[in-house]
Structure 1
Amino acid sequence: MSGMSIEAASAARVRLDPPMAADEATMLAAWLDYHRATLALKCEGLTAEQLRVRSAAPSSLSLLGLVRHLAEVERYWFQNILSASDAKSLYCAEDEDGDFNQVGTADPDEAFATWRAQIELARTAAAGLPLETTGKRLRHGEEVTLRWILVHMIEEYARHNGHADLIRELIDGTTGE
């Protein structure tokens, strides 16, 4: 698989700096898109084998695993909690860490396409909803607002983008934001 294929598959959107001044909903959506695009940039130009490189034993963390994990997270919060669909796990049905553990034979093109699709489903689920909108499902017996979901997703991506920085540096020395 060529780096160009991964680049094309991962380009969820061009990474734009979030606005310095905007209403809260616009700001949260912009920061989430920024972090989504950052993950795509961390994976850009790598081969399938490089995307499977593990961070450090005994961790199963890899860039491909992060993409698969974040597809799961997008699906869980926006489809299952916010929209109350019965969307089944993508990679973790038989292994709760299958998104990370099962990358040895995983297809990067499929993973990036699935991740992009989950992002689009998330955008659709949240489109036009006030931030105070509560999810149609409870999380641990509590209501969760769209605002909380967006802030959590920003945190989730930011944390994992830090992991992605370290893994990318391990692979080819590339650093950056």
Structure 2
Amino acid sequence: MSTPPLWPEELVSTGAEREVLEAFLDCQRRQIKAKLAGVAEEAARRRIVPSKTTPAGLIKHLTAVERNWFHRQLAQRDPAGIPGNSRGDDQSWELGPDDTLDHLIAEYDKVCQESRRIAAGFALDDTVPSERLGRVSLRWIYTHMIEETAQHAGHADILRELIDGATGL
């Protein structure tokens, strides 16, 4: 029996802290997209739980959360200059008529790429002002984003199983 190839996050099992944090955040970003792959458009928008949580809403919300922590908080950009929701609030779950799953995933990819570019300009110990926390470090942002993205990847996993029985990756 052959051993499967290592996942990117496994390749950094003895890596430096930043390398590990980045690999695990990217792992969760891949997970959410993998759980949405192949979901029919109508199913991606349908509410099957009491909350606003839908597969399409999950990716739209996570895009807003990326904008919030990396673009607005870390880069200290004015929210008025950031396209789309940059708060990750209740409104970030709401879908417009043009919010196709393919479009939302493409936007998520674009926003995540910009998040990576922004983070590359900071050290883990660098801090920036935060309305709620006073100051926040890049290390904390990475850890929070791993937690937030993993939580919603778990939601996507359950929704996907309810939609069409698909489990795993």
The residue matched to 1:144 in structure 2 has which SS?
A: strand
Name the % identity.
Answer: 36
Q: What aligned pairs does 1:123-138 form with structure 2 within 5 A after superposition?
A: 123-135=116-128, 137-138=129-130
Task: Choose 41-50 or 27-36, whichever is displaced more.
Answer: 41-50
Question: In the superposition, relative to structure 1, how do residues 55 and 162 fare at CA in structure 2: closer, same or farther (>3 Å)?
Answer: farther
Provide the residue aligned with 2:136 in structure 1.
Answer: 144
Cα distance in 1 for residues equivalent to 2:70 and 2:53: 24
Provide the residue aligned with 1:171 in structure 2.
Answer: 163
Question: Higher strand proportion, which one?
Answer: 2
Is residue 2:70 matched to residue 1:78?
yes
The residue matched to 2:92 in structure 1 has which SS?
A: helix
1:108-145, Cα deviation, whole Å (9 max, x unpaired)? 2321121111101100001152100112x323151000
Provide the residue aligned with 2:25 in structure 1.
Answer: 32
Normalization by structure 2: what TM-score?
0.85
Provide the residue aligned with 1:122 in structure 2.
Answer: 115
Provide the residue aligned with 2:106 in structure 1.
Answer: 113
Equivalent pair of 2:67/2:85 in contact (CA under 8 Å):
no
* Corresponding letter in the other structure for 1:123: R
Normalization by structure 1: what TM-score?
0.81
Provide the residue aligned with 1:21 in structure 2.
Answer: 14
Q: CA RMSD in A?
A: 2.1
1:146-175, Cα deviation, whole Å (9 max, x unpaired)? 000000000001111111111000011011
Provide the residue aligned with 2:53 in structure 1.
Answer: 61
Cα distance in 2 for residues equivalent to 1:82 and 1:39: 23
Equivalent pair of 1:169/1:175 in contact (CA under 8 Å):
yes
Equivalent pair of 1:71/1:115 in contact (CA under 8 Å):
yes
1:32 deviates by 0.1
Provide the residue aligned with 1:102 in structure 2.
Answer: 95
* Corresponding letter in the other structure for 2:99: A
* Corresponding letter in the other structure for 1:90: G
Question: In the superposition, relative to structure 1, how do residues 72 and 150 fare at CA in structure 2: closer, same or farther (>3 Å)?
Answer: same
Cα distance in 2 for residues equivalent to 1:92 and 1:148: 18
Equivalent pair of 1:54/1:167 in contact (CA under 8 Å):
no
Q: How many residues are treated as equivalent by the alignment? A: 159
The residue matched to 1:66 in structure 2 has which SS?
A: helix
The residue matched to 1:143 in structure 2 has which SS?
A: strand
The residue matched to 2:136 in structure 1 has which SS?
A: coil
